[in-house]
């Protein structure tokens, strides 16, 4: 994880990749990796320089927020103004684009301060950072999102980043720059830094011998993995039972033996990469 500018380092909780084998009444079926909507972990950083647009920059209000590509509000990431009235209608007089977009939401995860008194130091450029989690702490799916910034010099409505700053969250790191917007916004840049988990181990062979289930396959070299089991495919992974621990060798291969003698009905096995 990268610490950028004045932003705090956020701890990343990574998902556990898994593969599955199904043991059903003595007949073994081997499944591939469990997949779903891509949700790459990572941090995205925005940089935007604000300009004094009418000479009264000694008291200005600033907000930055993130939405989906279609404009659905996710959360506020940066807010500078009267601390006692962050959510009051007074903001409607200065930063109406943000006030309307949040539609009553008080989801806030980022930098806060009193009304900015200059365009130097922490006040400009502003450096919001987002861990790609929504208001409920859930990692958002990969796809396109928009950053928005609005500020005002305590004298009516202030300018904002028209149409937002579109960027893409995915498995590849990327960086975007945007043209200046008049005399208001310059040096606009978004940097996406994914944190990728290794590919999950893949079961390439499975057999039952003398009451044992023997699984063999390939995976990330030198990684430890757990064999977990359940008789209910819909049971949350946290409630599956760990029955073995093994390590993938330096060549990226593994073999693990599990006792299944006496198993009746359906039994499912998964390989899970633990994270420190």
> Which pLDDT value is given to residue 16?
45
User: Residue 36's beta-bridge partner residues?
Assistant: none
pLDDT of residue 264: 64
pTM of this structure:
0.67
Torsion of CA 211, 217, 221, 225, to 10 degrees: -40
The backbone torsions φ and ψ at residue 89, rounded to the nearest 5 degrees and listed phi first, read: -65, -10
What per-residue confidence (pLDDT) applies to 32?
45
Closest CA to 8 of 125, 103, 93, 129: 129
* pLDDT value for 263: 62
Per-residue confidence (pLDDT) for residue 53, from 0 to 100: 85
Radius of gyration from C-alpha coordinates of the chain: 25
pLDDT tens string, the chain, 276 residues long: the values are 333 443 333 333 344 445 555 544 444 444 444 444 568 899 999 999 999 887 767 888 999 999 999 999 999 999 998 766 888 888 998 999 999 999 999 999 999 999 898 999 999 999 999 999 999 999 999 999 999 999 998 778 999 999 999 999 999 999 999 999 988 999 999 999 998 777 778 888 888 888 788 888 888 888 888 888 888 888 887 788 888 888 899 998 988 888 876 666 677 888 887 644
3-state SS assignment for residue 117: coil
> What pLDDT is attached to residue 226?
85
- Per-residue pLDDT at 262: 64
Residue 74: how many other CB atoms lie within 10 Å: 22
80 Cβ contact list (under 8 Å, min separation 6):
60, 61, 62, 63, 111, 112, 113, 114, 115, 116, 123
Which one, of 257, 197, 199, 187, lies nearest residue 227 by Cα? 257
Q: Which two tokens stand for residue 265?
A: 């009905």
Quote the Cα angle for 141-238-140, to 5°: 10
């Amino acid at each position: 994880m990268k610490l950028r500018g004045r932003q705090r380092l956020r701890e990343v909780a990574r998902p556990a990749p898994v593969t599955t084998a199904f043991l059903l009444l003595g007949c073994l079926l081997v499944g591939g990796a469990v997949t779903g909507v891509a949700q790459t972990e990572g941090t995205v950083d925005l940089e935007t320089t604000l300009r004094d647009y009418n000479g009264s920059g000694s008291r200005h209000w600033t907000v930055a927020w993130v939405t989906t590509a279609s404009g659905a509000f996710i959360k506020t990431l940066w807010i500078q103004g009267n601390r006692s009235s962050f959510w009051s209608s007074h903001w409607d007089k200065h930063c109406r684009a943000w006030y309307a977009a949040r539609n009553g939401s008080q989801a806030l995860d980022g930098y806060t301060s009193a009304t900015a008194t200059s365009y130097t130091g922490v006040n400009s450029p502003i450096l919001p950072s987002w861990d790609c989690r929504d208001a409920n702490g859930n990692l958002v799916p990969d796809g396109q999102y928009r950053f928005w910034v609005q500020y005002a010099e305590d004298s009516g409505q202030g300018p904002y980043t028209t149409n937002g700053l579109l960027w893409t969250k995915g498995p590849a790191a990327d960086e975007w720059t945007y043209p200046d917007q008049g005399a208001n916004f310059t040096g606009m840049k978004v940097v996406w830094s994914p944190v990728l988990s290794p590919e999950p181990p893949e079961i390439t062979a499975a057999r039952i011998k003398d009451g044992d289930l023997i699984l063999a396959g390939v995976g990330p070299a030198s990684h430890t993995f757990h064999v977990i089991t359940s008789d209910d495919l819909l049971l949350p992974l946290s409630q599956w039972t760990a029955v073995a621990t093994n390590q993938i060798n330096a060549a990226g291969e593994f073999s693990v033996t599990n006792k299944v003698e006496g198993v009746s009905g359906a039994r499912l096995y998964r390989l899970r990469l633990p994270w420190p």
